[in-house]
Structure 1
């Protein structure tokens, strides 16, 4: 009698996080673990509570800690996972827009229009692209994030130990970040300190948005006026905390939303600026300054304003 063997069906996994994966985001951990499983499936598993951390639901952005126990539901992984497709424009930027690199980390001048990592509806982003073009580099992780339409300085760790150090610096005041933003309207104050707590929300369609709420987390941003124009104001924004969409929400809360902000700006205002050539969010991560975690050297990295944004500013009427 002929018999055929069938592969064992996938089982629930209970995985204890060790030092190598501590401080890693839950989504990145699962993506590395479940080779060939579509990212949309992974994000859905987390959203539906099929993935648990210490027997509780967790967000995809949860930072794993050593000793955490992660429940991974039964899911088949591909024998030959599809290769990540990196867009040509992103690949060029990854290869040609590195501001600094040593054996512990690199600073990239991220172009606008590219997500920093893959997710729902996005197959790949900056970090997946870097991993593909540098297959010999065994460890590459985002230290922080920039919105898809935000350009400028992005910090990426090449060692787990360095990632932990830089995360600690971000949690304190060890890393100073400054942004350039064009606000709609005439921002008349030379400096404006905003201390308004921010609360994350999720819309019916699953999109994330943030509101000012006393129930939210403490959030502080300093806005400094650089150049007033007839219908807009160029400012420098210095976030003292690192909340999601912080600068965008604080600017809109002041009544001066960032030009091109489709989530927190005014429709008619965006339409007016779009007719003038503004096709994306005018927010640029201009500078990162911190002490080197290895040798103590004071570092400062600057990403020049992209040519498309600079050309638009050149056409504005200054006051």
Structure 2
């Protein structure tokens, strides 16, 4: 039940722990998406909540929904202004030489008839910056916290693959899936609200991370 995934709720906002595999936008084939669950997230309101931002289909974790149009507009402005704090966790297919850093790699969308579309680093692209920090490593892989300062499509996935030179485990587009699920999770979201408490939520580490030996203990901090 999607109601069981609610991490935060008040009169303006709901944050859910979006399951991996659930697309936010309705797919072209008409298969199940977040839209099919919105009627179960009204909690006494007549209006359905609406997603303020996007997570990739196979990325799990914190997703902000607005409960009315005015709140939606304010939250979108917070995202556009860069005042929203986000923390993601990921497992990557290697161990970086450094313990932490900043990836500053503009991104642009490219497409071809054979491979479809994808994002890639390009000086002519839109500005994209991601801070990162290694939390742990084992068996040739690293458990990494990513703190995106911008919100470009596939930003963390491309910054891992092209910025660090090490793709996220299970990424079928920018790495090699190897039959594994995408090991990317939106672990924390904080949205400031002038004159009101922040919208703040933390999504627990998914079982797929624990199965690889990562994230079974204390949650990583804010860096």
Q: TM > 0.5 between the two?
A: yes
Size of the alignment, in residue pairs? 213
1:206-259 Cα shifts (integer Å, max 9, x gaps): 843101111210100111110021210000001100000000001000211000
Name the structure 1 match of 2:218. none
What does 1:248-287 align with in structure 2 at a 5 Å threshold?
248-253=157-162, 254-265=164-175, 267=176, 270-271=177-178, 274=179, 279-287=180-188
Deviation at 1:169, TM superposition (A): 0.3
Name the structure 1 match of 2:18. 110
How large is the Cα RMSD of the aligned pairs?
A: 2.1
SS class of match (2:188): strand
Task: Say which of 62, 78, 101 aligns to 2:9.
Answer: 101
SS class of match (1:312): coil
Q: Aligned partners of 2:191 and 2:3: how far apart in 1?
A: 24
Q: Aligned partners of 2:90 and 2:41: how far apart in 1?
A: 32
Q: Aligned partners of 2:199 and 2:169: how far apart in 1?
A: 31
Name the structure 2 match of 1:127. 35
Q: Aligned partners of 1:299 and 1:126: how far apart in 2?
A: 20
The structure number with the bigger radius of gyration is 1
Q: Aligned partners of 2:97 and 2:184: how far apart in 1?
A: 19
SS class of match (1:215): coil
Q: Aligned partners of 1:128 and 1:105: how far apart in 2?
A: 19
Cα 1:162/1:107, change in 2 over 3 Å: same
SS class of match (1:128): helix
What does 1:26-41 align with in structure 2 at a 5 Å threshold?
none
Q: Aligned partners of 1:122 and 1:114: how far apart in 2?
A: 12
SS class of match (1:178): strand
1:195 aligned onto 2:100: no
1:241-294 Cα shifts (integer Å, max 9, x gaps): 0000000001000211000000000x3xx43xx4xxxx210000000012235x
1:305 aligned onto 2:205: yes
1:183-213 Cα shifts (integer Å, max 9, x gaps): 1111231112111110012332684310111
Name the structure 1 match of 2:63. 154
Cα 1:206/1:183, change in 2 over 3 Å: closer
Higher relative contact order (CA 8 A, sep 6+): 2
* Structure 2: gaps (5+ residues): 216-223
Q: Aligned partners of 2:52 and 2:172: how far apart in 1?
A: 26
Return the structure number with greater helix share: 1
Return the structure number with greater strand share: 2
| Contact 1:220–1:241 under 8 Å retained in 2 | yes
1:221 aligned onto 2:130: yes
Deviation at 1:314, TM superposition (A): 5.3
